[in-house]
Amino acid sequence: MKNQALTETHFHFPRQKSFYKGKVRDVYNIEDTYLVMIASDRISAFDVVLPKGIPYKGQVLNQIASYFLDATADIVPNWKIASPDPVVTIGKLCKPFPVEMVIRGYLTGSSWRTYKKGERLVCGVSVAENMREHQRFPSPIITPSTKASEGHDEDISKEDIIRKGLISAEDYAVIEAYTYALFKRGTEMAAKHGLILVDTKYEFGKFEDQIYLIDEIHTPDSSRYFIAENYQERFDKGENQKQLSKEFVREWLMQNGFQGQHGQMVPEMSEAYVQEVSERYIELFEKVTGQSFIKADEGDTLKRIESNILGFLKEQGIQPE
């Protein structure tokens, strides 16, 4: 099967001020007012963009994020204005805080790898002795990380964030409360579909001095889900949890000798493996939202995206000169 993944865009929109290519998203600034965010099919792990794109991954990410932004708008205002295309969200151009708010309900993934090394203080948060992998914390913990434009994000404590002036104490108190409330809502929504929201991250920014939730939310790139049905049985037996997240890609990379360290080569991704990853992303969409996934038109993808974005801009009075 030919890989029809969307791995890059190079549009030039009317009144475009700048373009930024992230690990996964292509971001266009329209007259310092609107942010056009295109979710590509690129996939990253260990802060490295892998050489092959995953068909429909961008659509999965964009539509899950759009679904949860709408479902949490009563908790916190968010940046989204419209989603005129299956892989596009357009919203307010906010000034982002340079910190990601990572919240964890379970000792899993990188937090477990840190714990296993003997560390009991994670981002300034004390973690109890004698915990096991995939064990639930008594209550969710927030373990923030700096937002690196290049390279690896780094863990940081609440105290250091405030001390370094990255976020004021007043603003941090607000986004901390938002983070707990969003995680609670996400946990409740996941439970309705037989899932456990294990951990996730949120990003916030300001627009006209008001705090907004920005970027993606509760997607497989930003979150980890366990299958609830067999969680306790697997935990009691010390078995790995069946999960829906990008962790299975990280595990495959580690099994093939890659953890993003200097000098390591990214293993070859076969077309069969790429297709498997695509199917896992689609499965997650359907399980998380309870909706059937409808694949976007496979015609001229770039032309479709450009046309839909230009249509939105035209409605805002922004037209080619």
Q: What angle do CA 59, 195, 106 make, to 5 degrees?
A: 105
Per-residue pLDDT of 157-194, as tens digits, reads: 999 999 999 999 999 999 999 999 999 999 999 999 99
Q: Write down the pTM of the prediction.
A: 0.90
Pick the CATH number of 1-98+145-321 from 3.30.70.1050, 3.40.1280.10, 3.40.720.10, 3.30.200.20: 3.30.200.20
Average the pLDDT over each of 97-111, 139-153, 202-216 and give the range with the smallest value: 139-153
Decide if pLDDT at 98 tops 80.
Answer: yes
Place of tokens 């299956």: 86
How many other β-carbons are positioned within 10 Å of the β-carbon of residue 70?
Answer: 12
**Distance (Å, whole) CA 138 – CA 101:** 19
Query: Where are any strands of DSSP class E within the chain?
Result: 16-21, 25-30, 34-39, 44-45, 48-49, 80-85, 88-92, 95-96, 99-106, 121-122, 125-126, 136-142, 145-146, 195-207, 210-214, 223-227, 243-245
Classify 159 as helix, strand or coil: helix
- Count CA atoms closer than 13 A to 127's CA, side-chain side: 29
Decide if pLDDT at 1 tops 50.
Answer: no
